């Protein structure tokens, strides 16, 4: 039934140009469905001098309040990251974030308990979600996170302190950038 409910949504997509490249936010009047980081900028083109901005490059004529809230949050995250934590998050409208499945529980715990500039190990997050033996399942939950950045899966690292994979290993450089961005901006 949830899948039918979601398929009845009229989804719209907003594109933003960020220091990570293009970010596409898809959602409906009920909330944000997905955030995709397109990785359309080669890693060599990113540097510490990259402009810290996040501008809308493509948007439908009308957007829902939830989509607008998401855009505002993303813009704050990149330009004034210390303020992002005080902004309201948009509603989420994706099946992975509904109900009490382990993936949903892990993502909700991560969102609620791991703050800007902090990191948590896969093992510790499994413990926080109520199943200390589910370390690999936590990794699976991170891979299935439909709204990266808003639910900060980039803050989950290995117990050894290594950053671990991001976007199935294709976005490891983005994870490093995000962690550095939060560390540097959190100090200021």
Would residue 128 be called left, alpha or beta, if left means φ above 0 and alpha means ψ between -120 and 50 degrees? Answer: alpha
Residues identified as active-site: 153
Whether 91 contacts 28, CB under 8 Å: no
CB neighbour list of residue 55: distance below 8 Å, 6 or more residues apart: 16, 17, 75
Query: What is the C-alpha R_g of the chain?
Result: 16
Distance in Å from the first CA to the final CA of the chain: 47
């Amino acid at each position: 039934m949830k899948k039918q409910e979601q398929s009845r949504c009229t989804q719209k997509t907003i594109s933003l140009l960020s220091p990570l490249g293009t970010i596409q936010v898809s959602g409906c009047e009920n909330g944000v469905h997905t955030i995709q980081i397109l990785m359309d900028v080669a890693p060599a083109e990113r540097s510490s001098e990259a402009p810290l901005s996040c501008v809308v490059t493509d948007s439908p004529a009308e957007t829902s309040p939830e989509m607008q809230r998401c855009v505002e949050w993303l813009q704050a995250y990149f330009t004034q990251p210390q303020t992002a934590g005080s902004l309201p998050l948009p509603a989420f409208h994706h099946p992975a974030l509904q109900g009490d499945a382990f993936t949903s529980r892990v993502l909700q715990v991560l969102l609620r308990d791991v703050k800007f500039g902090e990191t948590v190990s896969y093992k510790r997050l499994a413990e926080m979600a109520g199943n200390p033996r589910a370390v690999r399942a936590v990794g699976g939950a991170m891979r299935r996170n439909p709204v990266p950045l808003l639910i900060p899966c980039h803050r989950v690292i290995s117990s050894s302190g290594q950053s671990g994979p991001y976007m199935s290993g294709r976005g490891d450089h983005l994870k490093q950038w995000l962690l550095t961005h939060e560390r540097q901006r959190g100090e200021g």
